[in-house]
Amino acid sequence: MARHRVDDIAAALGVRWEGDGGIELARAAAPADATEDALAVAMDPAYAEALGRGAARAAILWDGADWRALGLEAAIFVTRPRYAMAQLTDRFAPRPDLAAGIHPSAVIDPSARIGNDVAIAPFVVVGEGAVIGDGARIMSHTSIAAGTEIGAGALLHPGVRIGPRVRIGARFIAQPNAVIAADGFSFVTPEPGAIEQVRATLGAEVTQRQSSYARIHSLGRVVIGDDVEIGAGSCIDQATLAETVIGDGTKIDNLVQIGHNVQIGRDCLICGQSGIAGSTRLGDRVVLGGQSGVTDHVEIGDDVIAGGGTLFRTSQPAGRVMLGDPAMSMQQSIETYKALRRLPRFMRQMAEFKKSVSKTGDTD
């Protein structure tokens, strides 16, 4: 395991350090778990006590901390802790458990083009005409279907499924068992059915009965930009004719469902178990909290931010902060939740009030 000097780490982070800059560190650790060769991460005074329970000689601390009083021999000081964490954990991140080269058990179609310095683990399958960029690490049990192209520097964790004709940019990360380009969920009845009637009448009249379904096949593809990450078990469906699109820099958490023909902009964050139904478009920098949902065929504008469990049942203009079902502005939603909690008591009070007024009236 590579070791890093205190002064080198501070220089890389562009921050200040004090004490013995020559201490060499093998890893980063929580304050109480830190061994002598670990950099304790205690960027908030709340962790001061935990430092005493660990054995760290050096720590990364909040600005202004008294490192000598904390029993340390060296300290690095940060002003923006979360961003420092990104840089620090990148430096100490263990590399995936994967030897260079192509494992003999992998089944690679002879027409596939595999870049330089690619590592392919056991039991990987790569289909006809697939293209894998330089430096990719394809972990075990992953399948990459015919005609798919993956950019340089990809990291595919075990069990990832990538369907046919997918285009993926550089530095793609897929967590275990993610599924890219399953067929879209698109079925139709020979005659107009009950669902179409419900949509047309908002449920007011339903005389049709659904009959058997015919599949609308997915002939399109999934197109994924640069620097995208897809979480464990998440699913992104293939487009019917055109493209399901995930923009540059967008990060998708675990167990998220992205329907067919969906278009997601740049630098979005889609948290765990959220779902986006077919043909919906999200702008750039949209954030969906966990277990959020967006109905089909709507548009969510740039910079919309939604708290956990928000359900968008209609389109949403840009820049709003939303919460609840149906989605309201976060301010309105919090006010509405408060009103809802008071509602049973309010109804009783109003009923009493009405009764008292009516009685007053009766005595007139």
Output the smallest distance, CB 214 to its own copies, in A: 4
Q: How many residues bind its own copies (CB under 8 A)?
A: 142
**Is 110:128 a contact under the CB 8 Å cutoff?**
no
CB-nearer residue toward its own copies: 11 or 347:
347
* β-bridge partners, 42: 61
CB-nearer residue toward its own copies: 116 or 281:
281
Binding residues among 10-49 for its own copies as defined by CB under 8 A: 27-30, 32-33, 41
Alpha helices in 228-329 (DSSP H): none
Sole binder of its own copies in the list 15, 176, 298, 301 (CB under 8 A) = 176
* Site mask for its own copies (CB under 8 A), range 186-215, x = bound: xxxxxxx-xx--x---xxx-x--xxxxxxx
Cα–Cα distance for residue pair 239/222, rounded to 1 Å? 7
Binding residues among 135-164 for its own copies as defined by CB under 8 A: 139-141, 143, 145-146, 157-159, 161, 163-164
Q: What angle do CA 176, 179, 183 make, to 5 degrees?
A: 170
Binding residues among 267-296 for its own copies as defined by CB under 8 A: 267, 269, 271-273, 275, 277, 285, 287, 290-291, 293, 295
User: Is 111 a residue that touches its own copies (CB under 8 A)?
Assistant: no
The phi, psi pair for 358, rounded to 5°, reads -60, -40
Output the smallest distance, CB 235 to its own copies, in A: 4
CB-nearer residue toward its own copies: 70 or 257:
257
Output the smallest distance, CB 27 to its own copies, in A: 7
Sole binder of its own copies in the list 119, 253, 262, 282 (CB under 8 A) = 253
**Is 257:198 a contact under the CB 8 Å cutoff?**
no
Binding residues among 212-241 for its own copies as defined by CB under 8 A: 212-220, 227, 229, 231-233, 235, 237, 240-241
User: Is 335 a residue that touches its own copies (CB under 8 A)?
Assistant: yes
Cα–Cα distance for residue pair 87/81, rounded to 1 Å? 10
| Residues designated as active site | 260
**Is 126:146 a contact under the CB 8 Å cutoff?**
no
Cα–Cα distance for residue pair 362/298, rounded to 1 Å? 54
Cα–Cα distance for residue pair 259/186, rounded to 1 Å? 10
The phi, psi pair for 203, rounded to 5°, reads 85, 0
Write the single-letter amino acid at 3: R
Binding residues among 58-97 for its own copies as defined by CB under 8 A: 80, 82-83, 85-87, 89-90, 92-94, 96-97
Output the smallest distance, CB 139 to its own copies, in A: 8
DSSP 316: B
State the CB neighbour count (10 A cutoff) for residue 143.
18
CB-nearer residue toward its own copies: 16 or 354:
354
User: Is 105 a residue that touches its own copies (CB under 8 A)?
Assistant: yes
CB-nearer residue toward its own copies: 57 or 157:
157
Q: Which stretch binds its own copies (CB under 8 A): 4-12, 16-24, 110-118, 307-315?
A: 307-315
DSSP string for residues in 293-362: EE-TT-EE-TT-EE-TT-EE-S-B-TT-EEETTTTEEHHHHHHHHHHHHHHHHHHHHHHHHHHHHHHHHH
Sole binder of its own copies in the list 254, 298, 299, 301 (CB under 8 A) = 254
To the nearest 5 percent, what fractions of the chain are helix, strand and coil?
20, 25, 50
